[in-house]
Structure 1
Amino acid sequence: MTLLEMALLAVAGFAAGILNAVAGGGTIFTFSALLAVGMPPVAANATSATAVVLGSVASAVAYRREIILALRRLLPLCAVSILGGGTGAALLLWSGDQVFRALVPWLLLFATLLFAAAPYIQRALKPAAPSRHRRGDLPLAMLVQGLVAIYGGYFGAGMGVMMLASLALTETGGYHAANAAKNLLAIVLQVMAVVVFLFSGVVDLELSLIIAISSIIGGWVGVVAARRIPQAVMRHLVIVCGLALALWYFVR
């Protein structure tokens, strides 16, 4: 690993931290940077997922009050997230580099399009006024969350938007209540996936640490940037870069 490659990973982590703080979608950059320095696709995805966990924890801390209030109600969704995250990680390791490499451009394209649609999805999920939580839709929400968790354990980019859609079945207290629940479930499934990755030995802890530290710094800067840079500008940057990366991997 050269200094230039380490700098590339640090910049990718820093940019991902900013983007995740402002709009989300930073995983696309960290995963692509790891591929650029020569890591095999499966190892790159596992290393990126390990680095992202710290950022999810930081986001959850900001929503600690909402999470504590909803914790008992979210326990069934946490359980399926554990199973789904572990299953997705196991599927990634089982499929291997050749299959995953063929899926990378499609996954990047899907994640980018999902990210582009996020504002419309979030707008549709916002209730006109807070109301009681719906319990009758819990079985369906558990099924959907299980599928989302499998995807999150396998790849992860774009899973936040997918989780907001599944949480709309049970969380009717407003966008921030659903977003807080999303952060908790993201941690649960990511930690389970990371445990599987660590035991498999595919994670490069040194590179993951570089990305994690720089993304935490980027997240702090992102809070400041969010007050100065229009969110639409940041979102368009992610979409353009995501589509460009998907196109690049399609033609390689």
Structure 2
Amino acid sequence: MQWIDAVQMTAAGAAAGAINALVGSGTLVTFPVLLALGYPPVVANASNAVGLVPGSFAAAYGYRAELRSQRHLLLPLAAAVLAGGVTGALLLLILPAEAFRLAVPILIALALLLIVCQPWLVRALNRRATTVTTGPSATGAPVSGDVRGRGGRPAVALIAGVFAAGVYGGYFGAALGVLLLGLLGTLVTADLQQANGLKNILAGAANSVAALVFVVAGVVAWLPALLIGVGAVVGGMLAARYGRRLPAAALRAVIVVVGLTAIVQMVV
């Protein structure tokens, strides 16, 4: 790898780490760069997963204040996303490489759709947060932070949804953060920043277990993974501290352009 490629890879990692901290879908920045440098899709995906792990936890550390009120959810949801991540990573390794090559443009397109729909998800989350904070319960008492609801059904739906998101994250993972944010916003009593902190932990867990599977399988290109990791830590920490000031629309526009470029590159 030439020095200009190394600089490009580190910069892409920093951008992806920042995007993951704020929105999710940083994979749509780093994955096309890996493809452009000549790495096969499965190796690019595995190396990308390994590289983005440190950035996810750096961002989660930046959101540690928001996570304090959600600690009771960490263990069950982490178990669900870890199981899903292992399943998705094994599917990536078991299924033919051609299946992944054909699936990736579709997965990227779905990820871009989630990114475009994110403003609606955020507005829905904010409306729900306002309702559950100020609205009365069925008995007239203030609504608590209990996610179980009547008969425990929402908790089952939440765990099942997080498991499914983990499968997706282990297999590819672009816009996993947006998917998790939508789930948490719908099924958990939390404001947007609390949901985002919890999202960073869960996305990091899914990436971590998938990365472990890829390392054991020996499909990781270590130099780009290391460069992505260094950049992702810096980007994740900076975004957790300062990135809330960036216009969300501009960030989404960049992601959509990068994602469309990746789709064109893989199809052509």
Cα distance in 2, alignment partners of residues 185 and 246 from structure 1 = 27
* One-letter amino acid of the counterpart of residue 130, structure 2: A
Contact 2:25 2:178 in 1 (8 A): no
For 2:55 and 2:2, the matched residues in 1 are separated by 25
Q: Which runs of 5+ in 2 are unaligned?
A: 134-142
Q: CA deviation at 1:169?
A: 4.7
Kindly tell me: are residues 105 and 175 of structure 1, through their superposed partners in 2, closer, same or farther at Cα, counting changes over 3 Å?
same
In the TM superposition, residue 238 of structure 1 has moved relative to its aligned partner by: 1.6
**CA contact 2:53–2:207 (8 Å) conserved in 1:** yes
State whether structure 2 residue 243 is matched by structure 1 residue 241: no
- Aligned match of 1:40: 40
Instruction: Choose 134-143 or 10-19, whichever is displaced more.
Output: 10-19
Q: 1:83/1:210 Cα in 2 relative to 1: closer, same or farther (>3 Å)?
A: same
State the partner residue of 1:150. Answer: 167
Count of residues in Structure 1 that have an aligned counterpart in Structure 2: 250
Residue aligned with 1:168, SS: helix
Q: Tell me what 1:191 maps to.
A: 208
CA deviations 1:63-82 (Å, max 9, x no partner) are 22343432233322211111
What is the rounded CA distance, in whole Å, between the counterparts of 1:173 and 1:230 in structure 2? Answer: 22
Give the AA of the match of 1:2.
Q
Structure-to-structure mapping, 1:8-157, within 5 angstroms: 8-126=8-126, 127-129=129-131, 130=133, 131-132=143-144, 133-135=146-148, 136=152, 137-157=154-174
* 3-state DSSP of counterpart to 2:106: helix
Distance 1:15 1:176, change over 3 A: closer
* Offset at residue 150 of structure 1 (A): 0.2
- Decide which moves more: 63-72 or 195-204: 63-72
**2:244 & 2:163 partners in 1: Cα distance?**
32
Q: Is the 8 A contact 1:138 1:169 kept in 2?
A: no
Query: Which range moves more in the overlay, 62-71 or 78-87?
Result: 62-71
State how far apart, in whole Å, the 1-side matches of 2:226 and 2:95 are. 26
Distance 1:184 1:14 in 2: 18
Matched, 1:160 2:177: yes
Paired letter, 2:264: L
What percent identity do the matched residue pairs reach?
38
Q: In 2 relative to 1, CA 52–142 (structure 1 residues): closer, same or farther, beyond 3 Å?
A: same
Bigger Cα displacement from structure 2, 150-159 vs 233-242:
233-242
Which stretch shifts more, 159-168 or 79-88?
Answer: 159-168
Query: How far does residue 21 in structure 1 lie from its aligned partner after superposition?
Result: 4.6
Give the Cα–Cα distance (whole angstroms) in 2 for the partners of residues 245 and 179 of structure 1: 26
RMSD value over aligned CA atoms?
2.1
Structure 1 contact 42–96 (Cα < 8 Å) conserved: no
TM-score, normalized by length of structure 1?
0.90
- Residue 179 of structure 1: how far off its partner (Å): 1.7
Supply the distance in 2 between the matched residues of 1:201 and 1:190 (Cα, whole angstroms): 16
| Moved >6 Å (runs of 4+) | none
Work out the CA distance in 1 between the residues paired with 2:243 and 2:206. 29
The answer on 1:181 being equivalent to 2:181 is no
- 8 Å contact 1:18–1:218 — kept in the other structure? yes
Distance 1:163 1:224, change over 3 A: closer
Write the mapping of 1:2-13 to structure 2, written as runs, cut at 5 A.
2-13=2-13
Kindly state the Cα deviation for residue 224 of structure 1 after the two structures are TM-superposed: 4.9
Instruction: Output the CA distance in 1 between the equivalents of 2:42 and 2:51.
Output: 14
TM-score by length of 2: 0.85
Greater alpha carbon shift after TM alignment, 121-130 vs 134-143: 121-130
Match of residue 227, structure 2, among 197, 200, 210 = 210
